């Protein structure tokens, strides 16, 4: 068993953008790693998207995480910078959430967690979902990228010759894990045989 200091807490936030499968697969992979504790926040629209896209009961989805917090719970430990979570990811991340984070509008726990990442210089990864992008989207993402936020649209790579939709999903999940500094074998690395 790992000691408390060896355990990383990763906050996984889910918004209402399409792509709930990425969050599900990410949580499933993180659950396999004994050195990771997950704290989950799902927006109201995220709950609707999970039910619609995954045909999954939200309580079954919650079971994929170690801790679950309501998006309005500003008394959650992760709502404070004094709580030492390691990193956060919004997967999928709506443009509404990008705008809230880029403009410091922390009106829910998801935006507050991101605000903490920015002010405490913690890793923040946004799996942005929108196409095409307008100038406002690009300006908000540019502002965040300049602050060190990883902006990662779920773009598939075809050099790995994916054969199924799961292959495409796992490529993105593997890249998310790479950016969260979690070892994984989900990604066929360029140059690997």
| Cα 103 to the center of its chain, rounded Å | 19
Annotated binding-site ranges: 16-18, 43, 94-97, 129, 159, 175
What phi, psi does 150 have (nearest 5°)? -85, 120
- Residues 187, 50, 52, 126: is their CA dihedral positive or negative? negative
What phi, psi does 162 have (nearest 5°)? -60, 140
Buried b (16+ CB within 10 A) or exposed e, 13-23: bbbbbebbbbb
Annotated binding-site ranges for FMN: 16-18, 43, 94-97, 129
Annotated binding-site ranges for dimethylallyl phosphate: 159, 175
**Concatenated DSSP letters for 40-91?**
EEE-HHHHHHHHHHH---HHHHHTTSSEEEETT-TTSGGGSTTS---EEEEE
Q: State the greatest distance between any 2 C-alpha atoms of the chain, in Å, as a whole number.
A: 49
Contact 175, 188 (CB under 8 A): no
């Amino acid at each position: 068993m790992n000691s408390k200091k060896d355990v990383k807490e990763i906050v996984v936030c889910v918004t209402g953008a399409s792509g709930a499968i990425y969050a599900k697969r990410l949580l499933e992979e993180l659950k396999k790693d004994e050195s990771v504790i997950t704290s989950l926040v799902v927006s109201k629209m995220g709950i609707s998207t999970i039910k619609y896209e995954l045909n999954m009961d939200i309580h079954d989805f919650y079971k994929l995480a170690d801790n679950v917090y309501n998006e309005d719970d500003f008394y959650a430990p992760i709502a404070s910078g004094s709580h030492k979570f390691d990193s956060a990811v919004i997967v999928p991340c709506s443009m509404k959430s990008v705008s809230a984070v880029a403009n410091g509008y922390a009106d829910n726990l998801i935006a507050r967690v991101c605000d903490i990442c920015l002010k405490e210089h913690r890793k923040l990864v946004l799996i942005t979902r929108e196409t095409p992008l307008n100038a406002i989207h690009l300006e908000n993402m540019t502002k965040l990228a300049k602050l060190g936020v990883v902006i990662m649209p779920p773009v598939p790579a075809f050099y790995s010759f994916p054969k199924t939709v799961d292959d495409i999903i796992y490529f993105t999940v593997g890249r998310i894990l790479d950016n969260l500094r979690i070892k994984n074998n989900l990604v066929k690395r360029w140059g690997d045989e």
